[in-house]
A = this chain, B = another copy of it.
C-alpha cells in the first residue's frame, strides 16, 4: 500500500524562506510566524498521513453506492469527515463571522496540498462545499449568508456545483434546466445535471446545491442563466431543517478514478430554489466559485504528483535490480537499487523538480489571492487572473504526466492495482478535465486573459522576471544555472505573445492553434521563475549560516535540474506556436 509523508519542511521553506509571508503587509499575515504555521502544518500533516491517506485505497476499491435513493460513501469516510470537521479544518479559510477561522488562503493552500495528496476523492466533499460557500459569501443576501454559511463552515451541511447537463459542459448557453418564478419569490427548478461531484452522500445531513438554470422567459443562451441555492432538505427561517426538496440522485457515474467521491446524476423535479445574486447573472456568480476551484484543481495536480513521487522514491531505493553502469553500489547485495540507474534518476528528478516548483507556484498564487481579497490589490488580482488557467492547465497536465512517470518506476508492479500507483494516475486524470477542460483553460489564457486590460498583466509578469534577473545579475551562483535559462525561456514566452498579437490580429485561429503550447510554455517559465527565486532563497539561507546545509543544497541541485532539463521545452512550444494555424486547420472535417 502506498504511503504519504507530509512535506511540512518544504512547505515551510516556501512560506518563510521564499515568500517570507510573516514579513508581508497583508491583513492577517502578521500572525503567520514560523512557529504558528509550523503548528498548523504539523497538525494538518498528521490528519493527512494518519487518517486520510489510509482511506485513499479504501475509497478507490469500494467506491460509493446508491441504495434506495441514498448514497453511501466508502467505509471510514464518515468517521474521518467528522474528525476533520470537529478539529475545525473545514472552516479554516471561512469568515469568523460565520464561525470560520479566517485563515489566509496561503495557509489553506499549504494545508490543501496535503489533504489533496493524501486523499483527493475524500477532500473534494469539503472542497466543493468551500466553492459553494465562496459564491454565497460573495453574492448572497444577508439572510442567505446567515442561513447557510455557518453550517457550511463546519461542513454540517456540504455544498455542490451543478453546471453540466448531458448536452452541455463548456457551452453552458445550451442549458435546459428551467427555473419558474413562484409567488413567494422562490423558484421551481426542473432539469437534469450530470457529473455532480459530491452530489449526494452520507457525510452531512443537508446538502446545499448551487444550480445554474434558466428563468423561463429570460434571454436565450448564456445571458439567460441564473444561479440558485437548492437545498436537499428545506431550511426554515429559524435554521431548522424540514422536508425533502424535489432533488434526487439518478445514478452514480462509474468513473476511471476518484471512486471515493460520489459523482452523481442529479434530478431536480420542481425543487425549490432561491436566486443567488442577480437574475441572469448566474455565470458571474458561478465564476467566483470557479476561479477558486481552478486554483484548487491545480493543487490536485501537484498533490497527486507529490504522493506518487514519494512512493516512487521509496520503491527506487528498495527495489534491487541490475547494477550501476559505473560499478556496483551495493556490492554485498544481489543487485543495486533502482535509484542508481540514470534513467530512473531522470524520472525522479523530473518529478521532484516539478513538485517543488509547483508547490512554490501554488503558494505564490495563494499569496496573490490574499493580496487581492484582503488588500484589494488590483495588480495581484490581475496577475492571478492571468495565471489561473496556467495553474489549472499546466499543473494538472504535468501533474498527470508525473504520476505516469512515478507509476513507470514500478515496472509491472505499477500496473497492478494492489500497489496503488495506478490510482494516482487514474485520480489525477480528472483534474485535466473538470472545472474547465485544459483546452478551455488554454483558450481562456490566450483568447481572454492575455490581452485583458490592454495586456497589462502579462507585461507585469515580464517585468517581474526582468527585475529579478536584473536585481540578481551579480549573483554568481544564480547567473549561469538559473538567470540565463530563465531569461532565455522568458524571451520565448514574449516571442510567443508577440506572435499571437501580430498573427492573431489577422487570423484568430493562428493564435488559438498555439493555445495549448502557450499554456505549457507559460507554465515552464513560471516554474523557472519559482526555481530561480528558490535558488536565491537557498543561497541566502546558506550564506546566513543555516544549519541544514544539505536541505538548501538539494534545493539548488533540484532547481538546476529544472532549468537544464525541463526549461528547454519552451523552445519547442515556441516553434510549434510560430507555425500558426495553417497545418492545424488544413483538413476539412470529413477528412479526419
Contacts and interface: CB of A to CB of B under 8 A. Distances in A.
Interface string A567-581: 011011001100101
Nearest to A352: B592
A587 B346 CA distance: 11
B571 A557 contact: no
A169 B325 CA distance: 18
Interface in A248-273: 253-257
A297 to B, nearest CB: 13
A512 interface: yes
Contacts of A341: 439, 443, 512
Contacts of A426: 256, 426
A568 to B, nearest CB: 4
A415 B325 CA distance: 42
Contacts of A349: 583-584, 587
Given A341-B512, A565-B583, A322 B170 contact: yes
B579 A564 contact: yes
A443 B343 CA distance: 8
Given A171-B322, A554-B587, A592-B352, A576 B581 contact: no
Contacts of A334: 174
Contacts of A586: 557, 560-561
A408 B433 contact: yes
Contact of A430 (B256, B415, B429): B415
Contact of A439 (B408, B412, B560, B589): B408
Contact of A321 (B168, B558, B581): B168
Contact of A572 (B171, B322, B572): B572
A357 interface: no
A579 B349 CA distance: 14
Contact of A326 (B171, B508, B516): B508
A56 interface: no
Interface in A295-331: 313, 316-317, 320-322, 325-326
Contacts of A255: 415-417, 422
Interface in A184-205: 194-195
Contacts of A582: 560, 564
Interface in A340-378: 340-349, 352
Nearest to A422: B256
A447 interface: yes
A282 to B, nearest CB: 18
A418 to B, nearest CB: 6
A550 B557 CA distance: 53
Contacts of A154: none
B591 A439 contact: no
4 shortest interchain CB distances as A-B pairs: A568-B575, A342-B512, A256-B422, A561-B583
Interface of A: 164, 167-171, 173-174, 194-195, 253-257, 313, 316-317, 320-322, 325-326, 334-335, 337, 339-349, 352, 400, 404, 407-408, 411-412, 414-418, 422, 425-426, 429-430, 432-434, 437-439, 442-443, 447, 507-509, 512-513, 515-516, 550, 554, 557-558, 560-561, 564-565, 568-569, 571-572, 575-576, 579, 581-587, 589, 591-592
Given A407-B429, A557-B583, 20 more contacts: A171-B320, A253-B416, A254-B418, A256-B416, A256-B426, A325-B512, A340-B589, A343-B442, A343-B513, A343-B516, A345-B513, A347-B516, A349-B584, A411-B433, A415-B433, A558-B587, A564-B582, A565-B576, A565-B583, A568-B572
